[in-house]
A and B are shown apart, each in its own frame.
Chain A
């Protein structure tokens, strides 16, 4: 009966799901469940196999002593085999018989390998987190919403400049932020995170425990369980130096941008491929485009091929030779409009000292240039007028002087002359000298008049009609010399002229052409006129004796210069004509060949 009972008991033991073993008081294994034997790698137990349990727990030295105390206890131990280490937990409990006598012990063993591994992993993660905090100076905080408990890590406390033992409350934590924007912002974000489950990330000012204002970046993220936020986890990082230097950089940037933009210069920066990477306001205004439309473009995209090429060659030379161009006068043509610039191009170096482009600065000097040109024109006109004045003064002094010299001489004669007949001759000479002086004065007056009269009296005149009327006045002269005049001037041609001057010009040139006819042939005078963009060109040609221009070229239009031994040549007509034409802004030239003829070309200036 007893044997049957025993077998039943042990058979039951074998099938237990938890690994269980029975020991006698000496520590000898009586029997165990299959799973227990499996853990320790033991064969099924029989009466003859006396396995000592202590040998199975070699690392627990006092197992025997503990068992003797007849109390429950738990130990952790390891089993090493080729597949790795198994972590085990064995609970020992005294085994009582029905009379409450201890007859042995019961062991229950659990495989806790996975739990141990997880614990190790957590430990590892904690280490990593701590390292991260230490390296990145980013602290963390955690708010347990159920316990309403706030936890700060060491770094977070360091950032707040509080001692390690400080235990913050939520209100205290929020009060650390600067009153006003920072504090309001953090409270709002924190609340939003709890209620609406929104994560946050903000840059705000913290007033530390020691009263110092510091910029911090604070983040937070709710941890949701079953649709409810149970915790908020977040980080905090001191970014004070970074914000300060960023602010400084921004201030510098702002200063530079304002400066560059308000300079009355076109400023641009180009990269190594001559693409514009920065332009200021002046440059944008000049190109008539927004900065975004210019950035990334080369001169080839903005200007005509020819202009772009010149600029490109300069750019390449500056970047290749690292030699700047300073204050070079250039002309830019944009949409057909030319602008004069004083251009400088300077190589642009990066932080490592390598060339990475160029900086261009251009000063618009168009108006200065125009003024300079006006000034130069003015100087030219002035010096021409001055020259004319000197020459006129010379003529006046010479001509008047020669007359006064004659007067002096004749009067001296008259003083010492006794002979009445001779005296009469001298007086006749004196009156002739007086006539000459009057004539000279009259001529000079005419010239002065021309040069002082304004051009207001200019008006459009029909050239052909004027020629015909002058020819009418010259009828007697023409008839006497048997001259033929061919007037080819078309009815349509008009010249802007002072009427009296036009008459004088035609009269002098035609009468000269007739007077200096050749005895060898019939006198023929041809008058032509051509209208072009520059104005009207009047040509009066004859087949007369001609002028030796190689010899007298520079004197033809001079005052009192005559080249023909003729009584009626006074050397005044052409001088007068030249003055009249020039006073109207025109010019006169002469072509001649001896014994062939002479042509005078008169260019009328059509501007009023």
Chain B
């Protein structure tokens, strides 16, 4: 179907659940072409890797899949750090959670307002990754 698979240079998956990670990776395979997919078990690991990339002069990851409930540093704390680092490139962050707690949704809304980049909210289960979640501008046919 796809004449040309769209390309993304770097994707972060931050989630402590190996099954979810497996699922995201599998879905990405059919949606986008990316040679640099990095997996992190919690926010702190991802944050440290991000800092390292910036210090090495590399570009920020284009897309981040971010779980909310994680040990050591949760998704919200990671977002705080990311906003504070004021990234130069455009990033698309997809919050992925099984939580249906309205508090989490509210929190996402308040983050969205002060977020300089795209912040999506995606409830599990996920079956497909949409184009806008990969930072593509959808063109209506």
- Taking beta carbons and an 8 Å cutoff, which residues of A are in contact with B? 394, 397-398, 401-402, 404-410, 412-413, 429, 432-433, 436, 560-565, 569, 571
| Whole-angstrom distance between the Cβ of A425 and the nearest chain B Cβ | 8
Give the chain B neighbours of A561 by CB distance below 8 A: 71
- With A410-B19, A562-B72, A564-B71 known to touch, is A405 a contact of B98 (CB < 8 Å)? yes
| Whole-angstrom distance between the Cβ of A441 and the nearest chain B Cβ | 16
B71 touches A406 (CB 8 A): no
The residue among A406, A407, A433, A563 with the most chain B CB atoms within 10 A of its own CB is: A406
A398 touches B124 (CB 8 A): no
Partner of A410, one of B23, B41, B100: B23
- With A394-B101, A397-B100, A565-B41 known to touch, is A408 a contact of B71 (CB < 8 Å)? no
Give the chain B neighbours of A407 by CB distance below 8 A: 125
B22 touches A571 (CB 8 A): no
> Nearest chain-B residue to A432 (Cβ)?
B19
Interface membership of B99, Cβ < 8 A: yes
Chain B 33-66 interface residues, beta-carbon cutoff 8 Å to A: 41-42, 44-45
Interface membership of B126, Cβ < 8 A: yes
A402 touches B71 (CB 8 A): no
**Interface size class for chain B?**
20 to 34
| Whole-angstrom distance between the Cβ of A435 and the nearest chain B Cβ | 11
| Whole-angstrom distance between the Cβ of A322 and the nearest chain B Cβ | 58
Partner of B124, one of A402, A433, A560, A563: A402
Interface membership of B130, Cβ < 8 A: no
Additional A-B contacts beyond A406-B124, A407-B125 (12; CB < 8 A):
A397-B100, A398-B99, A402-B17, A405-B126, A406-B23, A408-B127, A409-B20, A432-B18, A436-B19, A561-B71, A565-B41, A565-B72
- With A398-B101, A405-B125 known to touch, is A433 a contact of B19 (CB < 8 Å)? yes
Give the chain A neighbours of B71 by CB distance below 8 A: 561-565, 569, 571
B72 touches A563 (CB 8 A): yes
Give the chain A neighbours of B20 by CB distance below 8 A: 406, 409
Interface membership of B69, Cβ < 8 A: yes
| Whole-angstrom distance between the Cβ of B57 and the nearest chain A Cβ | 28
Give the chain A neighbours of B99 by CB distance below 8 A: 398, 401
Give the chain B neighbours of A432 by CB distance below 8 A: 18-19
Give the chain B neighbours of A397 by CB distance below 8 A: 100
Give the chain A neighbours of B72 by CB distance below 8 A: 562-565
| Whole-angstrom distance between the Cβ of A43 and the nearest chain B Cβ | 148
> Nearest chain-B residue to A436 (Cβ)?
B19
| Whole-angstrom distance between the Cβ of A181 and the nearest chain B Cβ | 92
Give the chain A neighbours of B69 by CB distance below 8 A: 398, 560
- With A563-B71, A569-B71 known to touch, is A401 a contact of B23 (CB < 8 Å)? no
Distance of A562 Cα from B41 Cα, bound (Å): 12
Give the chain A neighbours of B18 by CB distance below 8 A: 432
A408 touches B125 (CB 8 A): yes
Give the chain B neighbours of A433 by CB distance below 8 A: 19
Distance of A443 Cα from B100 Cα, bound (Å): 21
Distance of A433 Cα from B42 Cα, bound (Å): 20
Distance of A433 Cα from B126 Cα, bound (Å): 16
| Whole-angstrom distance between the Cβ of A427 and the nearest chain B Cβ | 12
> Nearest chain-A residue to B98 (Cβ)?
A402
A409 touches B23 (CB 8 A): yes
Could you list some 10 contacts between A and B, CB below 8 A?
A401-B124, A402-B17, A405-B125, A406-B125, A409-B126, A410-B23, A412-B125, A564-B72, A565-B44, A569-B71
Give the chain A neighbours of B124 by CB distance below 8 A: 401-402, 405-406, 409
Distance of A397 Cα from B72 Cα, bound (Å): 22
> Nearest chain-B residue to A398 (Cβ)?
B99
Give the chain B neighbours of A406 by CB distance below 8 A: 17, 19-20, 23, 124-125
Distance of A407 Cα from B71 Cα, bound (Å): 23
Distance of A571 Cα from B74 Cα, bound (Å): 14
Distance of A561 Cα from B16 Cα, bound (Å): 12
Distance of A405 Cα from B125 Cα, bound (Å): 4
Distance of A410 Cα from B71 Cα, bound (Å): 24
Interface membership of B26, Cβ < 8 A: yes
Could you mark each residue 8-26 of chain B with 1 if its beta carbon is under 8 Å from any beta carbon of chain A, else 0? 0000000001111011001
Partner of A401, one of B22, B42, B98: B98
The residue among B20, B22, B42 with the most chain A CB atoms within 10 A of its own CB is: B22
B101 touches A409 (CB 8 A): no
> Nearest chain-A residue to B126 (Cβ)?
A409
- 10 smallest CB-CB distances across A and B, nearest first, come from A405-B124, A402-B98, A562-B71, A405-B125, A408-B125, A409-B125, A401-B98, A406-B19, A409-B23, A405-B98
Give the chain A neighbours of B44 by CB distance below 8 A: 565
Give the chain A neighbours of B45 by CB distance below 8 A: 565
Distance of A429 Cα from B17 Cα, bound (Å): 11
| Whole-angstrom distance between the Cβ of B105 and the nearest chain A Cβ | 14
Distance of A496 Cα from B102 Cα, bound (Å): 42
> Nearest chain-A residue to B20 (Cβ)?
A406
Give the chain B neighbours of A404 by CB distance below 8 A: 125
| Whole-angstrom distance between the Cβ of B24 and the nearest chain A Cβ | 9
Distance of A398 Cα from B101 Cα, bound (Å): 8
Distance of A397 Cα from B104 Cα, bound (Å): 14
> Nearest chain-A residue to B23 (Cβ)?
A409
The residue among B19, B41, B45, B101 with the most chain A CB atoms within 10 A of its own CB is: B19
| Whole-angstrom distance between the Cβ of B75 and the nearest chain A Cβ | 14
B17 touches A401 (CB 8 A): no
Distance of A279 Cα from B29 Cα, bound (Å): 95
- With A408-B125, A564-B72 known to touch, is A413 a contact of B26 (CB < 8 Å)? yes
| Whole-angstrom distance between the Cβ of B77 and the nearest chain A Cβ | 9
Distance of A408 Cα from B123 Cα, bound (Å): 13
> Nearest chain-A residue to B128 (Cβ)?
A412
Distance of A433 Cα from B41 Cα, bound (Å): 17
Give the chain B neighbours of A398 by CB distance below 8 A: 69, 98-99, 101
> Nearest chain-A residue to B127 (Cβ)?
A412
- With A397-B100, A398-B101, A560-B69 known to touch, is A413 a contact of B23 (CB < 8 Å)? yes
Distance of A565 Cα from B43 Cα, bound (Å): 11
Give the chain B neighbours of A429 by CB distance below 8 A: 19, 22
Distance of A404 Cα from B72 Cα, bound (Å): 25
Distance of A500 Cα from B41 Cα, bound (Å): 34
Give the chain A neighbours of B98 by CB distance below 8 A: 398, 401-402, 405
| Whole-angstrom distance between the Cβ of B1 and the nearest chain A Cβ | 14
Distance of A359 Cα from B127 Cα, bound (Å): 82
Give the chain B neighbours of A571 by CB distance below 8 A: 71
> Nearest chain-A residue to B124 (Cβ)?
A405
Distance of A230 Cα from B88 Cα, bound (Å): 141
